[in-house]
Structure 1
Amino acid sequence: MQEVANCPKCGGIFVKALRPLCNNCYREQELQYETVSKFMRKKQNRMATIQEVHAKTEVPIDVLHQFIREGRILATSFPNLGYPCESCGNTIKEGRLCGGCKGNITSGLEAIQKENDFNELKKKEENKSRAYSSLNDRLNKK
Structure 2
Amino acid sequence: MNNLVYCPRCNKLFARHFREVCNNCHQELEKDYERCIEYLRKNKGLTIQQLSEDTEISIKQITRWIREGRISLMDAPNMTYPCEVCGTLIRESNMCDACRGRLQKDMKNAQAQASSAIREFRSAGTGFQIKDKDRN
Is 1:35–1:57's contact at 8 Å kept on the other side of the alignment?
A: yes
Q: Compare 97-106 and 111-120 and name the one that shifted more.
A: 111-120
Pair 1:117–1:27, CA change in 2 (3 A): closer
Pair 1:76–1:99, CA change in 2 (3 A): farther
Per-residue CA shift, 1:102-133, capped at 9, x if unaligned? Answer: 11111122233334545666778888xxxxxx
In structure 1, stretches of 5+ residues that fail to align are 128-142
Q: Compare 65-74 and 93-102 and name the one that shifted more.
A: 93-102
Identity %: 34
Is 1:68–1:82's contact at 8 Å kept on the other side of the alignment?
A: no
- In structure 2, C-alpha distance between the alignment counterparts of 1:18 and 1:126, rounded to whole Å: 52
Question: TM-score by structure 1 length?
Answer: 0.74
1:56 counterpart residue number: 54
Per-residue CA shift, 1:54-109, capped at 9, x if unaligned? Answer: 22212222211111121110123322223211211111233322111111111122
How big is the shift at 1:39? 0.8
- In structure 2, C-alpha distance between the alignment counterparts of 1:32 and 1:78, rounded to whole Å: 18
Pair 1:116–1:40, CA change in 2 (3 A): same
Paired amino acid for 2:56: E
Q: Does 1:22 align with 2:30?
A: no
1:31 counterpart residue number: 31
Which of 68, 71, 78 is equivalent to 1:70?
A: 68
Q: How does 1:45-124 map to 2 (within 5 A)?
A: 45-117=43-115
1:40 counterpart residue number: 40
Question: TM-score by structure 2 length?
Answer: 0.76
- In structure 1, C-alpha distance between the alignment counterparts of 2:92 and 2:24, rounded to whole Å: 29
Pair 1:107–1:12, CA change in 2 (3 A): same
Aligned residues: 125
RMSD after superposition = 2.4
